[in-house]
Structure 1
Amino acid sequence: MSINIKDAQDVFKDAGESVDFVILNLKRENVEKEREVIAEFADLQNSIINSMRIRNQNDQLAVAWGFSSDAWDYLFPNADKPRELAPFKEIKGPKYTAPSTPGDLFFHVRAKINAVVYEVLDQFMDILRPITTVVDETHGFRYLEGRAIVGFIDGTENPAGVESMDYTLIDSDDDPEFANGSYAFAQKYNHNMDAWKALPTDEQEKTIGRRKFSDRELEEDEKSPNAHNIVSKDEEGGVEHKIVRMNVPFSDPSKDHTGTYFIGYSKSFHITNTMLTNMFTKSDRLLDFSTAVTGTMFFIPSKSVLEKIADGDL
């Protein structure tokens, strides 16, 4: 196995204090012009990020961005394609559906303060705005003690630190041309918080499969049969396969609109898709309170591939 974390974008577990997720569509009015702008952006984005890190050294800026399958086909029709890059297919379970929604470009920007996130995305959009339209922009935040908005600690079972790269980065043995890239799945959920808050704490714990205060995992016989931490796993072949996942809260309290933006980074989208399939076909108990409203898969290129895009060599 061979990966190089220095060649990778920020696809590790670091939800940040302030987060912005942006999905854009290309206008598809002039492919040559749009390809030129994307090349310009691929060339400039690293200096924008580095400049902000110098100016705000303690604010922990992290950025990942990439392309959907449709965008890749449109911009780089003669180039090879990442092995698993394809449109996400809707998953229809007996009760709930994971929809497939459009999007060409994806951005995940996070930092300790919102001003840094704003400044980076403002500079990004100065370049990209003429060739794109906005599909969705969601502003997220770090909730108390790093908990998901439903009140439970987020990401306890996530691979941590450098170890996470073994789960998120494509190995050169598997797809050499796109080594150190990653697959990202972005999915937005709206929550029925009134119904969730009305659920007694012990029932919430059975739903998630963990204690709410201590974060300790429940014994198997204490959980609901379709508890979230049972059905959201990929244990294909008797081995648990992991991804790096973040559940980022967002809310407009005055509008009673609260939800979770799920982002999952993986070296193989097959793993993420298996987790999603399990959740929706086995009717994850958490879905009784959470409605998936978006779902799009993207490829996050390595820095080496971004350099090729900038040079027009893809």
Structure 2
Amino acid sequence: MNSSDNYEKHFESQNVTDYPNTNTIFCVWVFKKDADIQPAFEQVCAVVANLNHSFAVRMPEDRVSCVMGIGYEAWIKLNLPTPVPKELTNFRPIVGEKYTAVSTPGDIHFHFRAANISACIDMSVAIAAVLNTVADRVEEVHGFRYWDGRSILGFVDGTENPIGKQRARFGMVGKEDLQYEGGSYLFVQKYVHNMEAWNSLSDEQQEKVFGRYKISDIEMPENIKPGNSHSALAGITDAQGNDLKIVRDNMPFRNAAKNEFGTYFISYANTFSTTNEMLKCMYIGNPPGNYDRILDFSIAQTGTLFFAPSVDLLNAYKAK
């Protein structure tokens, strides 16, 4: 039996392995200094459970979900179980010769998904009503589905995502960390794209940046695909040559007031090491210096690691 077959039998995980929906809101909160955060956190756990249950009953066809992730420092402040998840730390910046994957603060992350944006907005408002007195919302990004799942850059995003039962295998912690089985390492970056520079490239030049053909989404043959293309550097393997994957729920966003076009990169994984190794290949290069060409057009403004615990763990803390 595949280990992923056991997940639902032993505990309930948060909705980390669902496919991206049509509308998304991402929120990052940071606790205020000296705030009484424990009661608010317990209330938030209850609200998250209520939102997921209520929308599942009211709007099952809209695939509504609220996923909560918790940062390392918040985990400690909230006196959550110890030892902490094995790879939960503050994200350490990855510094390449030309570009850096920055590290930014974040105590709580919310990932709201729905076919109807109204559900995302209502969930965001409900969470804010609890957290406003004890935390500051330092980031809120409204994502949307762009055509057939493409990024603003015009290429299909998440083509290499695992599908079916593989999503649980790569997206959720298994027997290697029994205390946190069913949880997931949640990593986010807000990328802003230089659209003027990107649009100055021909389709053929853009395809060489991605290592894929734009219309068909077919990966270029190895003898044609540049070694510094995104698809060449983002794929990694273990010591036995097996592919290592993450569950990406990336969404494009647009902020007209700031003239921002971007991608909110979000990964769920059974280990942060996989995501971190992908980032090293992108920013440092493989070999070093051969960085991901997409970084010439995409700047990461944020970078934060969280852990999305199982529903069972969150329910143990929710206010009664």
Taking structure 2 as the reference length, the TM-score comes to 0.92
Match of 1:117 among 120, 127, 152: 120
On the 8 A contact 2:66/2:111 being kept in 1, the answer is yes
Alignment partner of 1:201 is 2:225: no
- Which range moved further: 186-195 or 42-51? 42-51
- Structure 1: stretches of 5+ with no match in the other structure: none
Q: Bigger shift: 299-308 or 231-240? A: 231-240
1:301 and 2:306 are equivalent in the alignment: no
| Structure 1 residues 210 and 46: CA distance shift in structure 2, 3 A | same
* Within-5 A mapping of 1:135-284: 135-171=138-174, 173-237=175-239, 238-253=241-256, 255-282=258-285, 283-284=291-292
- 1:37-77 CA-to-partner distances (Å, cap 9, x unmatched) read 21122123211221123222321112211100011011116
**Superimposed CA distance per residue, residues 112-151 of structure 1 (whole angstroms, 9 cap, x where no aligned partner):** 1110101111112212222111111111110011111111
CA distance in 1, matches of 2:41, 2:257: 38
1:287 corresponds to 2:282: no
Give unmatched runs, 5+ long, in structure 2: 286-290
Match of 2:101 in 1: 98
Out of 121, 126, 130, the position equivalent to 1:127 is: 130
Question: Kindly, what percent of the aligned residue pairs are identical?
Answer: 37
Deviation at 1:287, TM superposition (A): 0.5
In structure 1, distance between residues paired with 2:195 and 2:18: 26
Amino acid at match of 1:288: D
How many Å separate the matches in 2 of 1:156 and 1:78? 36
- For the Cα contact (< 8 Å) 1:40–1:310, is it kept in 2? yes
Contact 1:13 1:244 in 2 (8 A): no
Superposition CA RMSD, Å: 1.7
Asked whether the equivalents of residues 66 and 123 of structure 2 are also in contact (C-alpha less than 8 Å), the reply is: no
Structure-2 change in CA distance of 1:222 and 1:78 (3 Å): closer
- Equivalent position to 2:61, from 58, 62, 80: 58
Mapped partners of 2:197, 2:63: distance in 1: 36
TM-score (norm 1): 0.94
Larger helix fraction of residues? 1
User: Do structure 1's residue 35 and structure 2's residue 38 form an aligned pair?
Assistant: yes
Taking structure 1 as reference, are residues 79 and 192 closer, same or farther at Cα in structure 2, changes over 3 Å only? same
Query: 1:160: Cα distance to partner?
Result: 1.2
Instruction: Say if 1:118 and 1:188 are closer, same or farther in 2 by CA, change over 3 A.
Output: same
- Partner Cα distance (1:66, 1:157) in 2: 24
Check the 8 A contact 1:52/1:120 in 2, yes or no. Answer: no
Greater Cα shift, 282-291 or 53-62? 53-62
Q: What is the CA–CA distance in structure 2 between the aligned matches of 1:137 and 1:263, rounded to whole Å?
A: 14
